Amino acid sequence: MKTSNQQKKALEILKILKQLYPDATCSLTYDSPVQLLVATILSAQCTDERVNKVTPELFTRFPDAQSLANADREVLETLIRSTGFYRNKAKNIQGACQKIMQDFDGKVPQTMEELLLLSGVARKTANVVLAHAFGINAGVTVDTHVKRLSQRLGLTKATDPVKIEKDLMALLPQKDWENFSIRIIYHGRQICKARTPNCQDCQLANLCSFIS
């Protein structure tokens, strides 16, 4: 069980993050739930900045689930090549969109259980889509930044993303699950970097286990 001190610490971290990054939001560019789904799949082991350079042409050519489901695979691969692992990503995007067309009437499903049935979709992707496309906080999105900072801040000892998510869900109010992730990602990019954390300028330093 989580201690009250750990919960108090998590809430203080959340409060500071809200003050530091009041306008933080999903940095992927999209116009619909299916475009967010595709952009999130593309963001695996790739920066959001790179994804946002690829998706304008991709979504001009293939703007919805139907067009993506019927796309020529080689064309799709060429358009997303620079995001890395492009063959597997193209396969997953097309597979997900085909299932959306076949089983969900062409619409991105709005539950965790249904989203996890789609190719290339694990809890991280599903959490992003649910929170930002539909305003549903089903869990905490755990990417590399959230994993690193949550461990450094002493909010979890787990290494598995699903276990980290479970720990964070127990510490934070459900309404803040996604905005915690977004803000801590911003902090990870700007201050608490993997190899060169800027502890001197970190406003979470007095709450951090990494430097204590």
Q: Which residue among 18, 91, 143, 166 is the active-site one?
A: 143
In angstroms, the CA 203 to CA 106 distance is 45
- The first and second tokens of residue 100, run together, are 């959306």
- The first and second tokens of residue 185, run together, are 């990602």
In angstroms, the CA 11 to CA 8 distance is 5
DSSP letter, residue 201: G
DSSP element (H, E) containing 135: none
Q: Which residue among 9, 89, 124, 147 is the active-site one?
A: 124
Q: How many distinct helices (H) and strands (E) make up the chain?
A: 11, 0
124 is catalytic: yes
143 is catalytic: yes
For residue 12, the number of C-alpha atoms closer than 13 Å in the C-beta half-sphere is 15
As annotated, the active-site residues are 124, 143
